[in-house]
Structure 1
């Protein structure tokens, strides 16, 4: 049997990201699911860009603050304690707006744990 206890604050921040990202699943030795914690100050986005996944399902559980998610269908507002989910081939960009009054803390879960992300360019 194999168990892990991971404190995100003990992990190194991932460099060159738009906000504070800590890779939880990697620290726990998990291969089949990607679990990350994001902490975004006002004006910061969570992923590197507006993007879409070919096969990965992705969910964002908001621990504190309010998450905003841009989609081709409009903006969604995800309050503390709620979850945003995106099915494969559903473009999205999660962020904390410039005028937010507080940071947002989110646990992101993606499965399967594959690198299938592609940039998404919204139509003008």
Structure 2
């Protein structure tokens, strides 16, 4: 058994873009389940951009406020006390479009998803493309590699 206080700052390197982002998997010693807690200010988002995990199922439990998920079927508002599930390969982006802070518990299985694709504009192609997220182990920077032209479309340093 492991117990943690989600108010403790247990953040590690992240590209989550949330105002508060706490990784709970390590302190809870989970083997197969990723667990993260996030607080999203108004006009903020959880996640770098519109994306999908090719190899991970995700569940988001909204514990405060409302989180609006951009999906392939349109926007879906999830309020406190509600949850939403995304299967592998389903695109989504969590945003707080309301006036109050939103809090969410994010669960993903299997833990350690590495096959993430973003859908965004590529500066080389000049159009919206799929981009594979890869960690450059030499620089420690995440790179979005355009699947259409193979160029680095974006570089993101973990915070």
* Secondary structure, aligned partner of 1:47: strand
2:112 is the counterpart of 1:105: no
2:50 is the counterpart of 1:47: no
What is the RMSD of the two structures over their aligned residues, measured on CA atoms? 1.7
Alignment match, 2:73: 73
| 1:47 CA drift (Å) | 1.1
Alignment match, 1:117: 116
Aligned length: 119
CA distance 1:17–1:111, change in 2 (3 Å): closer
1:22 and 1:6 map into 2 onto residues whose CA distance is: 11
The 8 Å contact of residues 49 and 120 in structure 2, kept in 1 or not, is answered as no
- The structure with more strand, counted as a fraction of residues: 2
Structure 2: unaligned runs, 5 residues or longer: 122-127, 129-159
TM-score (norm 1): 0.87
Alignment match, 2:27: 27
User: Quick one: higher RCO (CA 8 Å, sep 6+), 1 or 2?
Assistant: 1
Alignment match, 1:95: 95
| 1:14 CA drift (Å) | 4.4
